[in-house]
């Protein structure tokens, strides 16, 4: 672990300091309105100053933590800017406080604004540690797949816009240009939005097709900052580019079939590759999780007392995610307690914890585990032996651990394993090649290529 990482790791602990201090300042400031508490006024400036210093430290540690890049970058960016904004506001308040105190109403609104900003920043940070969207970039959520399965028997009958163009937009653009986010004031999830265009107006120029904003963006050089999709995201394939160009040059109709737009030889070839590239989806295995009863409240409380963060996977699924960021006592004890409800647990996160190999002795009881985070801990190959029993495991993160190629090799036979994140572990180029040549479904992510993987297992709730 290098110094930068070490500094970054203090962030989740340190942030509680400015939050606590700022809340205290707001409360004290409010209380000074009452005669009984006017004496508090004298100390607020000092406390506020300390709060600002601790906020700046949190910004620095947060920034270094973000360099590890293990979170959703968009969420991190948002969090970063709100945090900077909040710190700036408190700093301005520090200097203007005296003046504001005289104007009661303005002072009240300022305090409310500060409180809202603080809560917002804290909430964003919380979403990052508690895993909303954590490392799910590049995987499609079940909804996207089920809403738009590629179902083309005869490519000539396919509708160019709906089956090819919109299908591609859904996979590669809509996460930033859809109902949740509208980067560049643009939505691409439906033809009415596409016709409406974005910040710079029309997307498609029917009189001069090569001049439309959409085609220009996707054809720009990869490294141009205006290139779409942004360079760190899954790019359009050559076949998709050919199909987009063909569709736009032919007038960007929203209802014509492939045959009606008479594809030439180049396009026919692209259509064939497009079909092949997306064939994976036709093999999609739909796997059902057995429904499970709601977790007993008593047990939940007991686990939370030990430091576990316990949350259910979704509103209609009682399986749970356990996060052991702040376990009191040994992790082994915490896992023994958690094993009591092992069937409930499908996600287990022990990242950045004091985890040791011996702590995982009963990991094999967590038979339903689908995702496991052991990253940034001292575990070695011995710990990975316990992982080999987890037949449902699809995702494993062992970034920055003492594991080696030997340990990873033993995992490659796990039937459902799709993804192992292992950057930062000691593996030679030869070992890496040997691992990559093993024929399995598991993809290895070494941190140097941004290829993202379409999951081919989706879990849906079994009808009760
Ligand atoms: C990771 C997020 C992200 C993804 C994925 C993404 N974009 Fe964008 N897009 C942006 C951002 C941010 C902007 C605004 C900045 C800019 O104009 O470059 C933008 C702007 C645009 C614009 C310009 C809108 C206007 O009128 O100014 C177009 C067109 C566009 N994107 C098309 C696409 C297409 C097509 C895809 C998929 C092939 C795509 N984008 C995927 C983030 C994304």
Residue whose Cα lies nearest atom 14 of ligand 1: it is 184
pLDDT at 256: 93
Of ligand 1's listed atoms, the one at least distance from the Cα of 186 is 24
Which region among 123-137, 313-327, 341-355, 404-418 has the lowest average model confidence (pLDDT)? 123-137
Distance CA 192, CA 232 (A): 28
Residue whose Cα lies nearest atom 31 of ligand 1: it is 228
CB atoms within 10 A of CB 272: 12
pLDDT at 81: 94
Residue whose Cα lies nearest atom 17 of ligand 1: it is 184
Find the mean pLDDT for residues 75-85.
90
Assess contact for 207 and 198: CB atoms under 8 A: no
Residue 19 pLDDT > 90? yes
**Ligand 1 center to residue 25 CA distance, Å?**
42
CB atoms within 10 A of CB 301: 10
Residue 282 pLDDT > 70? no
pLDDT at 456: 40
Of ligand 1's listed atoms, the one at least distance from the Cα of 234 is 5
Residue whose Cα lies nearest atom 19 of ligand 1: it is 184
pLDDT at 77: 86
Domain ranges of the chain: 3-129, 150-281, 288-461
Find the mean pLDDT for residues 147-173.
82
**Ligand 1 center to residue 195 CA distance, Å?**
15
pLDDT at 250: 92
Please, which pLDDT band fits residue 8 given cuts at 50, 70 and 90? confident
pLDDT at 133: 39
Across-strand partners of 419?
395, 443
| Percent of all residues in the chain with a pLDDT value above 90, rounded to a whole number | 52
Residue 131 pLDDT > 70? no
The winner for highest mean pLDDT among 79-93, 98-112, 288-302, 323-337 is 79-93
| Mutation choice for ligand 1 from 139, 181, 186, 215, CB with most ligand atoms inside 8 A | 186
Q: In terms of pLDDT, which residue wins out, 285 or 14?
A: 14
Please, which pLDDT band fits residue 249 given cuts at 50, 70 and 90? very high
Encode pLDDT of 251-274 as tens digits.
999 999 999 999 998 898 889 888
pLDDT at 44: 93
Find the mean pLDDT for residues 428-455.
70
pLDDT at 253: 92
| Percent of all residues in the chain with a pLDDT value above 70, rounded to a whole number | 88
pLDDT at 453: 40
Is omega for the bond preceding 229 within 30 degrees of 0, making it cis?
A: yes
The pTM of this model reads 0.41
Q: Which residues line the pocket of ligand 1, CB cutoff 6 A? A: 172-173, 175-177, 183-184, 186, 197-200, 203, 213-214, 217-218, 226, 228-230, 233, 236
Residue whose Cα lies nearest atom 11 of ligand 1: it is 183
Residue 455 pLDDT > 50? no
Residue whose Cα lies nearest atom 20 of ligand 1: it is 184
pLDDT at 129: 67
Of the CATH numbers 1.10.1030.10, 3.80.10.10, 3.40.50.150, 3.40.50.9100, which one belongs to the domain with range 288-461?
Answer: 3.80.10.10
Distance CA 248, CA 227 (A): 18
Residue whose Cα lies nearest atom 28 of ligand 1: it is 214
Of ligand 1's listed atoms, the one at least distance from the Cα of 74 is 1
| Mutation choice for ligand 1 from 203, 217, 223, 244, CB with most ligand atoms inside 8 A | 217
pLDDT at 449: 43
Find the mean pLDDT for residues 431-443.
81
pLDDT at 180: 81
Q: Which two three-digit tokens encode residue 111?
A: 């305090």
pLDDT at 156: 85
């Amino acid at each position: 672990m290098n110094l930068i990482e070490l500094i970054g790791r203090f962030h989740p602990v340190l942030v509680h300091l400015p939050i606590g201090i700022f809340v205290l300042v707001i409360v004290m400031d409010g209380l000074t309105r009452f005669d009984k508490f006017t004496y508090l006024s004298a100390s607020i400036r000092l406390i506020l100053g300390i709060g600002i210093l601790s906020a700046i430290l949190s910004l620095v540690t947060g920034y270094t933590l973000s360099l590890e890049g293990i979170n959703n970058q968009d969420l991190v960016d948002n969090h970063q800017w709100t945090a900077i904004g909040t710190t700036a506001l408190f700093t301005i308040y520090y200097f203007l406080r005296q003046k504001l105190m005289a104007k009661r109403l303005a002072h009240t609104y300022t305090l409310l604004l500060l409180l809202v900003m603080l809560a917002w920043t804290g909430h964003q940070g919380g979403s990052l540690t508690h895993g909303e969207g954590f490392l799910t970039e590049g995987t499609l959520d079940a909804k996207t797949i089920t809403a738009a399965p590629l179902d083309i028997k005869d490519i000539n009958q396919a509708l160019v816009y709906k089956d090819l163009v919109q299908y591609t937009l859904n996979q590669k653009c809509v996460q930033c240009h859809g109902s949740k986010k509208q980067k560049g004031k643009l939505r691409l999830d439906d033809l009415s939005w596409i016709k409406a265009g974005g910040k710079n107006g029309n997307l498609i120029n029917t009189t001069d097709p090569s001049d439309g904003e959409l085609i220009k963006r996707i054809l720009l050089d990869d490294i141009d900052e205006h290139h779409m999709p942004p360079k760190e995201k899954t790019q359009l394939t050559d076949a998709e580019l050919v199909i987009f160009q063909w569709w736009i040059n032919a007038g960007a109709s929203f209802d014509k079939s492939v045959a009606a737009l008479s594809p030439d030889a180049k396009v026919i070839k692209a259509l064939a590759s497009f079909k092949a590239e997306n064939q994976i989806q036709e093999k999609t295995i739909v796997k059902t999780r057995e429904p499970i009863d709601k977790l007993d409240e008593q047990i939940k409380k007991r686990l939370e007392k030990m430091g576990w963060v316990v949350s259910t996977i979704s509103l209609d699924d009682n399986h749970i995610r356990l996060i052991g960021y702040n376990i009191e006592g040994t992790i082994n004890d915490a896992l023994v307690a958690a094993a009591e409800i092992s069937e409930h647990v499908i996600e287990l996160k022990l990242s950045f914890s004091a985890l040791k190999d011996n702590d995982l002795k009963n990991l094999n009881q967590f038979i339903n585990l689908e995702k496991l985070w052991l990253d940034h801990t001292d575990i070695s190959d011995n710990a990975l032996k316990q992982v080999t029993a987890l037949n449902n495991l699809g995702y494993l993160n062992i970034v920055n651990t003492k594991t080696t190629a030997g340990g990873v090799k033993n995992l490659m036979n796990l039937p459902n394993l799709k993804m192992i994140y292992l950057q930062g572990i000691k593996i030679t180029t030869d070992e890496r090649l040997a691992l990559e040549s093993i024929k399995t479904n598991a993809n290895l992510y070494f941190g140097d290529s941004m290829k993202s993987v379409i999951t081919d297992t989706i879990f849906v709730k079994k009808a009760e």
